[in-house]
C-alpha cells in the first residue's frame, strides 16, 4: 500500500507543461503574467468603454467640423457656388436640390451647431480621457487616493489637452514626412529623384512615424495613469505598441480599400472598420500596459500594501462547575488533608 502512494505523490508534485515552459522561457513567463493581469483587471471591459466614448465623441467633433466649414464657405462664396454646382451635376433632380438646401441651412446655423458641438465634445472628451486613465491605472494596479472631484477633472482636462498636442505633433510630422514636403526637400538639395531615393524616403518616413508613435505611446502608458510611473518601465511596451499600431494602420488602409468597392461597403464598411480598429487598438494599448506593469523591474518597484492590522481579542474560558466536578475536588482535598495529617503524626517528638 505504501509503494503505490509514493508514485502518486511524485506525479502530483511534478510541474505542469505550462509551468515548465514558463520556467524555461522568461519571455513566455512575462507574456503569461501580462495576460493574467489583463484578465484580472477586466481589460476587455475597459477597452469596450474606451471604444464607446471614442465613437460618441465623433458626433460632436463632426458638428464642430461642419461649423468651421460653414464659416469658411461664408467667407468664400465662389467655393460654395462651385460645391453646389458639382452636387447639382452629380445628383440631378430633387435630391440634389435637397442636399443644397441642407448645406445652406447648415451654414446659416453654423454658430449654434458649432457651440452645441463644442459643449458636447468637451463632455464626451472628459468622459473618454477619464475612462482611458482609469483603465491604465487598473493595469498598473496603482493605489490611487481620491483628490476630489474638481482636482480630478482639472487633471483630466490637462491630460486631454496635452494628449491632443502630442497627437497633433505626431500626425503633423507623419504627414510632412510622407507627403510632398520630403520630395521638395530632395529637389532643394539637388538630388535626382529616382527609385533609390524613393525607397530611402519611404524607409525614413516609416522610421520617423515609428519614433513619433513610440513617443506618444510612451507618454500615454507612463503619464496618463492616475499615479504616474517611470518612463524606463514603459519604454519597451511603448515600442511594441508602436510597431503593432503601424501594422494595424496598414491593415486598416487595406480593409478600407477592399470594402469601398460596393455601395453597402461605402455605407457600413468605414463604421464597422472604425469600431474594430478602436477596440483592437484599445485592447492592444491596455495589454502593452499590463506587459510593462508585470516586468521584473516594475514588480520590484510596485507598491506593496501593508498587512491588515492584528486583532487581539481576549479569550474567556469558563470553568466547569458541574456537581460531579465539585464533588471530585472535595474528595481530592479531603484525601490530601488526611495524608498531610498522617505525616505530621509520624514525625518523632
Which phi and psi (to 5°) does residue 317 adopt? -105, 120
Predicted pLDDT at 159? 87
Average pLDDT over residues 172-180: 62
The whole-number average pLDDT for the span 140-160 is 79
pLDDT at 61: 81
Residue 1 has pLDDT above 50, yes or no: no
Question: Of 257 and 302, which is predicted with more confidence?
Answer: 257
pLDDT for 170 beyond 90: no
Find cell 523591474 and name the residue. Answer: 297
* The predicted structure's pLDDT at residue 302: 61
Over range 316-328, report the average pLDDT. 60
- Is the Cβ–Cβ distance between 53 and 128 less than 8 Å? yes
Residue 207 reports pLDDT greater than 90: no
> How many whole angstroms separate alpha carbon 307 and alpha carbon 315?
23
- Beta-carbon count within 10 A of 304 CB: 6
Q: Which helix (H) or strand (E) holds 245?
A: helix 231-259
pLDDT above 50: residue 256: yes
H/E element holding 48?
A: helix 43-75
Lowest mean pLDDT among 44-48, 59-63, 206-210, 323-327: 323-327
Span 12-26, average pLDDT: 81
Residue 278 pLDDT greater than 80, yes or no: yes
Predicted confidence at residue 241, as pLDDT, reads 92
Tell me the pLDDT tens digit for each residue of 72-127: 877 787 877 777 777 666 665 666 677 777 777 777 888 888 888 888 888 888 88
Contact 214, 189 (CB under 8 A): no
Mean pLDDT value of segment 234-261: 83
Helix (H) or strand (E) holding 120: helix 110-140
Whether residue 349 is predicted with pLDDT greater than 60 in this model: the reply is no
Which pLDDT does position 253 carry in this prediction?
76
Torsion angle, CA of 129/133/134/137, rounded to 10 degrees? 180
User: What average pLDDT is seen over the chain?
Assistant: 77
Residue 243's SS3 state is helix
Confidence at residue 83, expressed as pLDDT on a 0 to 100 scale: 74
Q: What is the distance between the alpha carbons of residues 211 and 208, in angstroms, rounded to a whole number?
A: 5
Which is nearest to 304 in space by CA: 158, 143, 150?
143
Q: For position 15, what pLDDT does the model report?
A: 82
Contact assessment for residue 119 and residue 68, using Cβ atoms and an 8 Å cutoff? no
Q: How confident is the model at residue 190 (pLDDT cuts 50, 70, 90)?
A: low
| pLDDT value, residue 323 | 64
Are the CB atoms for 95 and 27 separated by under 8 Å? Answer: no
Asked which of 116-120, 137-141, 164-168 is least confident by mean pLDDT, the reply is 164-168
**Above 70 in pLDDT, residue 290?**
yes
User: Exposed (0-12), middle (13-18) or buried (19+): which is 24, by Cβ within 10 Å?
Assistant: exposed
pLDDT at position 212 = 86
Give pLDDT, residue 166. 80
Q: Tell me which of 53-57, 77-81, 241-245, 319-323 is least confident.
A: 319-323
Distance CA(269)–CA(188), nearest Å, equals 41
More confident site: 163 or 317: 163
Mean pLDDT over 187-210 rounds to 71
Range picked from 9-13, 69-73, 79-83, 321-325 for highest mean pLDDT? 69-73
CA angle 175, 176, 181 (to 5 degrees): 135
CA distances, 102 to each of 148, 213, 278, 305 (Å): 45, 39, 31, 60
Q: What is the pTM of this model?
A: 0.71
When pLDDT is cut at 50, 70 and 90, the band that residue 319 belongs to is low
Confidence of residue 283 (pLDDT cuts 50, 70, 90): very high
204 Cβ contact partners less than 8 Å away, ≥ 6 residues apart: 177, 182
Segment (H or E) for 291: helix 263-293
Amino acid at each position: 500500500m505504501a509503494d503505490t502512494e509514493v508514485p502518486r505523490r511524485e506525479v502530483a508534485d511534478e510541474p505542469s507543461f505550462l509551468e515548465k515552459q514558463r520556467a524555461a522561457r522568461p519571455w513566455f513567463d512575462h507574456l503569461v503574467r501580462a495576460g493574467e493581469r489583463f484578465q484580472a483587471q477586466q481589460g476587455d471591459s475597459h477597452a469596450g468603454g474606451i471604444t464607446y466614448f471614442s465613437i460618441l465623441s465623433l458626433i460632436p467633433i463632426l458638428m464642430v467640423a461642419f461649423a468651421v466649414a460653414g464659416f469658411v464657405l461664408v467667407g468664400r462664396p465662389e467655393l460654395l457656388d462651385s460645391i453646389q454646382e458639382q452636387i447639382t451635376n452629380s445628383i440631378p433632380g430633387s435630391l440634389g436640390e435637397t442636399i443644397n438646401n441642407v448645406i445652406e441651412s447648415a451654414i446659416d446655423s453654423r454658430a449654434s451647431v458649432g457651440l452645441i458641438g463644442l459643449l458636447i465634445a468637451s463632455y464626451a472628451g472628459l468622459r473618454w480621457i477619464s475612462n482611458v486613465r482609469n483603465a491604465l491605472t487598473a493595469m498598473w494596479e496603482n493605489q490611487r487616493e481620491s483628490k476630489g472631484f474638481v482636482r480630478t477633472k482639472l487633471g483630466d482636462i490637462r491630460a486631454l489637452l496635452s494628449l491632443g498636442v502630442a497627437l497633433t505633433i505626431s500626425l503633423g510630422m507623419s504627414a510632412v514626412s510622407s507627403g510632398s514636403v520630403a520630395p521638395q526637400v530632395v529637389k532643394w538639395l539637388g538630388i535626382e529623384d529616382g527609385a533609390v531615393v524613393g525607397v530611402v524616403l519611404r524607409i525614413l518616413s516609416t522610421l520617423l512615424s515609428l519614433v513619433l508613435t513610440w513617443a506618444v505611446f510612451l507618454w500615454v502608458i507612463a503619464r496618463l495613469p492616475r499615479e504616474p510611473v517611470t518612463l524606463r518601465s514603459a519604454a519597451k511596451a511603448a515600442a511594441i505598441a508602436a510597431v503593432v499600431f503601424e501594422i494595424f494602420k496598414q491593415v486598416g488602409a487595406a480593409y478600407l480599400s477592399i470594402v469601398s468597392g460596393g455601395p453597402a461597403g461605402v455605407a457600413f464598411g468605414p463604421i464597422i472598420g472604425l469600431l474594430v480598429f478602436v477596440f483592437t487598438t484599445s485592447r492592444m494599448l491596455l495589454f502593452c500596459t499590463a506587459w510593462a506593469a508585470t516586468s521584473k523591474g516594475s514588480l520590484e518597484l510596485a507598491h506593496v500594501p501593508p498587512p491588515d492590522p492584528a486583532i487581539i481579542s481576549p479569550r474567556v474560558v469558563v470553568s466547569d462547575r458541574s456537581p460531579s466536578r465539585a464533588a471530585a475536588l472535595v474528595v481530592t482535598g479531603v484525601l490530601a488533608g488526611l495524608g498531610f495529617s498522617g505525616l505530621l503524626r509520624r514525625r518523632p517528638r
